[in-house]
Structures are given as structure tokens and as C-alpha cells.
């Protein structure tokens, strides 16, 4: 995977808050179409790193590009070319399914015509046509998740950042969500995802594990399990994160 | 042995929706009891009733021997309740939150500090930090400390580990084991099936109905879920191909492999032959033992 052209490339990325180094000199690349799992204990620095990659915060030092744009000088272009979804906030509960899609697409600068074509496609692929006019607060959680993903990707971004998209979600619903990720990846979209469910780490092409602001491991799940003589990614994570000094 | 929680024929409707439909089960004194079910199953409604924040339409329930309707005032002092959303005051400090909860229950922090000391641990280093400025794991520890400060008999925890990393989750469950040793009964809900396996007993709940109650291992045994494992280099095409094979009732990702739930029409050799024909030449399928997660997925589908 990584021999393909990188869609994310960062070098010695560092972020300090006062004398606290939240992200400490991290370097990595993510290839186009890759599912990249960005793992780490609470407080390891994941959210700070993601904010820099999304153009929401500037690094203290280091450099990088996302979707071909510089994270120091082209933050606004980055925001236009990525998608972002988190479990905590992504949809307006008092708007309908269709209104949510239209709102997000309009923010991303899509024309009414583009939105209509894309929305019809989304409703068909997700089998959500019946729910078009339902209020978001009234649809089941599994559908909300699919809709949140659709809203984050309506503008066909090169890369989508998913920050704990399955937090608190039951095992059956989590799996349906991941099938959608597979599908998007097979169509060339790059997926950058964080999760605390370590079975989900097994579905990534490559994963990195952050500890105390550093990337301590980065490889395919198969190679990591081999390197740490572990049967599962859960064991790998425990071996690597156990020694964390930083309690969140 | 007495039951710390008794739930008898509890029903609660919201309009046409029966959030809880004739729910009956009991939680033995001093046990860690898991409430396991998909989103919208009725778990939070049940917690609200047990915490006396919501009255059932019909049925009876007692917690620590106290009735949720008649004895609601006394009951509130007998329980510690940690709702899904954090219950702390964000603009009070660590120490202020703890003292505030203690004063609500008419106790002094010092009186029961021994109970929370192992949990409070690192928080003691920054008593003057605002709760809002704590990270997720620390907020969780403070919320648990506040829920315990009046030394309740029963602890009600609604998805306490959502968004918490694997190492911290392990620590949290070790804390629960310590509290159990001190005689506190714990009712906990979770979406992590490895945590379900750490409970003494669990109740499976879906669409307001209790499907079964037993020890996690026994539930899996008696439901008899026979599954197959499957793997190949290209997992997504494999998943799609397997779903079209005769006798496959369900196929889903399971860590590094796929799991197949099958019926009597399934034939292993035919299945592998079919995958070969479709170009999945490295595909392997072999029998495996299902666990609580497979059971959950099976029940959620029904």
C-alpha cells in the first residue's frame, strides 16, 4: 500500500502547549486508498495530531501535506479537500436526512445540481430512499452513522478522517459501518480512522500506535502481530501502550 | 443469598413504543451483573427507573431492598449512579465536585475516602483543576469517585467505558473487582463484549425484552452457536462471495478473520470449491467456537 503516492505525508510534526509536548516529532505517510488506523491510549496525542492534519491547528514545528496541500500555509484548501466525522457531533438532529446532506454539501461548495445527483446516488447505495424526509433524531443509530459518513463524503474528498466513529456502538452496528468503509476504500478514498475497538484495527491496511506523543509502532496488523509475538492486535496494543507515562 | 436488585414485570412506554416490555430479572447481592444489548434496547430507560428518575407504567422493582416508587428517597442514598453522559459539574474543580457530592448525601469526604482512594489516585495530584479540563479517562475516574463517596450498596454504571482505551478499560474493570470484594453490587452496561465476559452474570436485552439471563459462558454454551472461521488475503471480496454461498445465514468480520453462521444446507467442501471458482484461491474456511460477541450478533439479527 505505502508504495502508492502518499495522500498524507508528515515529517517531524510537533505540537507544544506551553512546556507540554502533545505531539512529539512524528513522521509517517498514508497512501491513496489506504485504510489507516491511528491508534493510541487516551491522552497519547491523537486528537492534537488529527487537528493539525485537518488544518484546524498549526504545528509548532515540522512539516507536512494533506491531499497535496501544505499544513502550514494552505489550511483552508485542506479543509475543502477532506471529510471529517466524529461520533460526538456530526448531524443536526432536528433536520431531516435530506436537509442534513444538503447542508453539509452546500458548506463544501457543491451546486444544487451536483447535490441532487450525488444525494440520489447515496440514497440508492445506502438503501435510505424511504428515510429521505425523516428527522435525524427519529432514525435508528445504525442509519445515523451511515448518514454521518455520507454527509462527510458527499463532496468526494480525497481523504476522510473518522474520529472514533464507532464509540459506544454495539457489535452488529459497528460491523455494518466497517463494510461501508471497505466499500469507500475500494473506490479509492483514503480512510484515516481512530478506534478503541482493537478488532477494528485488524481491518486496517496499516496502523500506527501512539504513546506519550510519539508513534511507537507503524506497520500492517499482520507484521505487528509477528513482531510482538501476539495473537491479536489487542495484545499488540497492550504491550506497546502499557508503558505509557502520560496518564490521560 | 439476597438480591440487590429485583425487577418484576416492568413495562415503560413512550407513546406507541414499549421501551421496556414486561422485564423481569434479579441481580444477586455482591455480583457484577452486565446489561448487554444494542442501542435502543431499553438499557438507559431501565437505569432511569432503578435510579428513581423515571416511574414505570407497571411492574415493581427494588434496589437494596427499597421500592423504586414508595421508598425513592431512601433508595437514592443506597445507590451510586453514573449515567452515560458525565454527571460532573465542568466548572467546579476536582475537589469541589467530590465535596459537593459528599454534601448532597450528608457525608464527609474523609469518612469514605478509603473506598475511593485506589480510584481517585492520580486525581489527588491536581485537586484544583476544573473538571472540564480533565481528559476522558480522568473524568471517568472522578465521576466514579463522586458516585461512590456516600458508600452506596449498589452501583449503577451506564456504559462507563465508552471512548476509553483498552489499557484504561482493563484498569477500570480491576477497580470494579475491588469494589465487588468490598460487597458493592454492580449493574453495568457495555458495548464491549470482552467486558461482558468479565461479568458474573449478564442479561441480554433487545427491543425492550430480556432474551436470557445467565453466566456469560453458559449463555454461549446453551445457545450452541456453531460457527466457521474464514480468511483470505483479500477480505472484502471474500465477505461478499461467502454471503452468496448456500447455507450461510450470516457472515461478518471478526478481527483478522470472518465468521460464518450456517444452517444444515452448508457444506464445507462445496463452499471452498465455490470460492476457488470465484478466484479466491487462497481462501480458507474451518470450524471454530463462537463467543459472546457471536451470540450478540445472532440475537441482534433476529
Structure confidence by residue, pLDDT tens digits, A132-184 = 999 999 888 888 888 999 999 999 999 999 999 988 888 888 998 998 998 89
Residue B215 has pLDDT above 90, yes or no: yes
| Residue contact B138–A248, C-beta within 8 A | yes
pTM above 0.90, yes or no: no
What is the distance between the alpha carbons of residues B39 and B206, in angstroms, rounded to a whole number? 9
Instruction: For the sheet with A6-17, list strands across it.
Output: A20-31, A6-17, A61-66, A69-70
Find the CB nearest A178 among B192, B253, B300.
B253
Distance from CA of B253 to the nearest CA of A (A): 7
Q: Which CATH class is domain B224-301?
A: alpha beta
Q: Average pLDDT for consecutive 10-residue bins of chain A (248 residues)?
A: 76 95 96 95 91 96 96 95 84 94 94 94 85 90 89 94 89 89 90 94 95 96 96 94 72
| Residue contact B256–A182, C-beta within 8 A | no
Q: What is the mean pLDDT of residues B151-174?
A: 91
The single-letter DSSP state of residue A5 is P
| Per-residue pLDDT at A2 | 44
DSSP helix/strand/coil, A240: helix
What is the distance between the alpha carbons of residues B227 and A152, in angstroms, rounded to a whole number? 36
CB contacts of A87 in chain B (<8 Å) are 163
| Per-residue pLDDT at A235 | 94
Cβ of residue B211 closer than 8 Å to a chain A Cβ:
no
What is the distance between the alpha carbons of residues B294 and B277, in angstroms, rounded to a whole number? 29
In terms of phi and psi (left: phi > 0; alpha: psi -120 to 50; beta: otherwise), the region of B291 is beta
Rounded mean pLDDT of chain B?
A: 92
| Per-residue pLDDT at B64 | 97
Strand partners, B61: B7
Distance from CA of B256 to the nearest CA of A (A): 5
| Per-residue pLDDT at A1 | 45
Model confidence band, residue B8 (pLDDT cutoffs 50, 70, 90): very high
What is the distance between the alpha carbons of residues B142 and B148, in angstroms, rounded to a whole number? 10
Q: Measured on CA atoms in the order A54, A60, A65, A70, is the torsion positive or negative?
A: positive
Contacts of A4 (CB under 8 A, 6+ apart): A31, A32, A33, A34
- Give yes or no for a contact between B123 and B138, defined as CB atoms under 8 angstroms apart: yes
Burial of A191 (0-12, 13-18, 19+ CB in 10 A): buried
> What are the residue ranges of helices labelled H in A154-242?
171-186, 198-201, 221-227, 233-241
User: What value does the CA radius of gyration of chain A take, rounded to a whole number of Å?
Assistant: 18
Residue B223 has pLDDT above 90, yes or no: no
Contacts of A20 (CB under 8 A, 6+ apart): none
Closest C-alpha among B87, B30, B26, B25 to residue B53: B87
| Residue contact A238–B170, C-beta within 8 A | yes
- Give yes or no for a contact between A58 and A92, defined as CB atoms under 8 angstroms apart: no
- Give yes or no for a contact between A180 and A212, defined as CB atoms under 8 angstroms apart: no
Q: How many alpha carbons fall within 13 Å on the CB side of residue A154?
A: 31
Q: What are phi and psi of A106, to 5 degrees?
A: -70, -40
What is the distance between the alpha carbons of residues B136 and B124, in angstroms, rounded to a whole number? 16
| Per-residue pLDDT at B1 | 57
DSSP helix/strand/coil, A225: helix
Find the CB nearest B39 among A173, A179, A222.
A173
The single-letter DSSP state of residue B125 is G
| Per-residue pLDDT at B201 | 97
Shortest CA distance from B171: residue in chain A: A242
| Per-residue pLDDT at B210 | 94
Q: Please report the domains of chain A, with CATH numbers, ordered by start residue.
A: 6-241 (3.40.50.300)
**In the structure grid, which three cell numbers stand for residue B67, read together?**
421500592
| Per-residue pLDDT at A183 | 87
**A112, containing H or E segment:** helix A112-126
Could you tell me how many CB contacts below 8 A there are between chain A and chain B?
A: 103
Closest C-alpha among B80, B99, B79 to residue B89: B99
Domain residue limits, chain B: 3-218, 224-301
What is the distance between the alpha carbons of residues B274 and A73, in angstroms, rounded to a whole number? 54
**In the structure grid, which three cell numbers stand for residue B222, read together?**
446453551
Instruction: Tell the residue number behind the cell numbers 483514503, with chain if given.
Output: A190
What torsion do the CA atoms of B85, A166, A233, B286 make, to the nearest 10 degrees? 130
Shortest CA distance from A45: residue in chain B: B135
Q: What is the pLDDT of residues B236-252, one digit of tens each?
A: 899 999 999 999 999 99
Cβ of residue B104 closer than 8 Å to a chain A Cβ:
no
Closest C-alpha among B211, B222, B225 to residue B254: B225
DSSP helix/strand/coil, A180: helix
- Give yes or no for a contact between B54 and B12, defined as CB atoms under 8 angstroms apart: yes
Q: How far, in whole angstroms, is CA A145 from its chain's centroid?
A: 13
Domain B3-218: which CATH number of 3.20.20.80, 3.30.1950.10, 3.40.50.300, 3.10.20.880: 3.40.50.300
Amino acid at each position: 500500500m505505502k508504495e502508492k503516492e502518499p495522500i498524507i505525508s508528515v515529517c517531524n510534526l510537533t505540537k507544544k502547549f506551553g512546556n507540554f509536548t502533545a505531539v512529539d516529532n512524528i513522521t509517517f505517510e498514508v497512501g491513496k486508498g489506504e485504510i489507516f488506523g491511528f491508534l493510541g491510549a487516551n491522552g497519547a496525542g491523537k486528537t492534537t495530531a488529527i487537528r493539525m492534519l485537518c488544518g484546524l491547528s498549526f504545528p509548532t514545528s515540522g512539516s507536512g501535506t494533506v491531499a497535496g496541500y501544505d499544513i502550514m500555509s494552505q489550511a483552508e484548501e485542506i479543509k475543502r479537500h477532506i471529510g471529517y466525522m466524529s461520533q460526538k457531533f456530526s448531524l443536526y438532529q432536528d433536520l431531516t436526512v435530506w436537509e442534513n446532506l444538503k447542508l453539509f454539501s452546500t458548506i463544501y461548495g457543491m451546486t444544487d445540481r451536483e447535490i441532487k445527483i450525488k444525494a440520489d446516488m447515496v440514497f440508492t447505495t445506502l438503501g435510505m430512499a424511504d428515510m429521505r424526509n425523516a428527522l435525524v433524531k427519529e432514525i435508528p443509530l445504525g442509519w445515523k452513522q451511515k448518514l454521518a459518513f455520507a454527509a462527510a463524503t458527499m463532496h468526494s474528498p480525497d481523504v476522510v478522517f473518522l474520529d472514533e466513529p464507532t464509540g459506544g456502538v454495539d457489535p452488529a452496528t459497528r460491523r455494518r459501518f466497517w463494510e461501508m468503509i471497505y466499500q469507500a476504500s475500494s473506490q479509492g478514498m483514503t480512510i484515516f480512522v481512530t478506534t478503541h475497538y482493537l478488532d477494528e484495527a485488524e481491518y486496517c491496511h496499516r496502523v500506527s500506535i501512539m504513546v506519550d506523543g510519539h508513534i511507537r509502532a507503524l506497520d500492517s496488523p499482520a507484521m505487528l502481530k509477528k513482531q510482538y509475538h501476539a495473537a491479536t492486535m489487542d495484545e499488540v496494543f497492550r504491550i506497546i501502550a502499557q508503558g505509557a507515562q502520560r496518564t490521560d | 443469598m439476597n438480591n440487590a436488585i429485583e425487577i418484576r414485570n416492568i413495562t415503560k412506554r413512550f407513546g406507541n413504543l414499549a421501551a421496556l416490555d414486561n422485564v423481569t430479572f434479579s441481580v444477586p447481592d455482591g455480583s457484577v451483573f452486565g446489561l448487554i444489548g444494542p442501542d435502543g434496547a431499553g438499557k438507559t430507560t431501565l437505569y432511569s427507573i432503578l435510579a428513581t428518575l423515571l416511574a414505570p407504567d407497571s411492574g415493581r422493582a427494588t434496589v437494596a431492598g427499597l421500592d423504586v416508587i414508595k421508598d425513592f428517597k431512601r433508595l437514592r442514598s443506597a445507590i451510586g449512579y453514573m449515567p452515560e453522559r458525565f454527571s460532573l459539574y465542568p466548572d467546579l474543580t476536582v475537589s469541589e465536585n467530590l465535596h459537593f457530592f459528599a454534601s448532597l448525601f450528608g457525608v464527609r469526604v474523609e469518612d469514605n475516602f478509603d473506598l475511593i482512594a485506589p480510584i481517585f489516585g492520580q486525581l489527588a495530584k491536581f485537586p484544583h483543576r476544573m473538571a472540564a479540563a480533565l481528559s476522558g479517562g480522568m473524568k471517568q475516574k472522578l465521576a466514579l469517585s463522586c458516585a461512590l463517596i456516600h458508600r452506596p450498596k449498589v452501583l449503577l454504571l451506564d456504559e462507563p467505558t465508552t471512548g476509553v482505551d483498552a489499557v484504561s478499560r482493563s484498569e477500570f474493570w480491576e477497580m470494579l473487582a475491588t469494589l465487588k470484594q468490598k460487597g458493592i453490587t454492580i449493574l453495568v452496561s457495555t458495548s464491549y463484549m470482552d467486558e461482558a465476559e468479565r461479568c458474573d452474570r449478564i442479561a441480554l436485552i433487545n427491543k425492550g425484552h430480556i432474551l436470557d439471563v445467565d453466566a456469560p459462558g453458559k449463555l454461549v454454551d446453551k445457545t450452541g452457536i456453531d460457527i466457521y472461521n474464514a480468511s483470505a488475503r483479500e477480505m472484502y471480496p471474500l465477505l461478499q462471495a461467502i454471503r452468496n454461498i448456500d447455507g450461510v445465514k450470516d457472515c461478518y468480520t471478526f478481527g483478522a478473520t470472518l465468521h460464518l453462521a450456517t444452517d444444515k444446507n452448508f457444506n464445507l467442501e462445496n463452499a471452498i470449491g465455490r470460492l476457488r471458482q470465484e478466484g479466491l484461491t487462497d481462501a480458507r474456511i474451518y470450524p471454530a467456537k463462537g463467543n459472546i460477541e457471536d451470540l450478540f450478533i445472532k440475537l441482534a439479527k433476529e
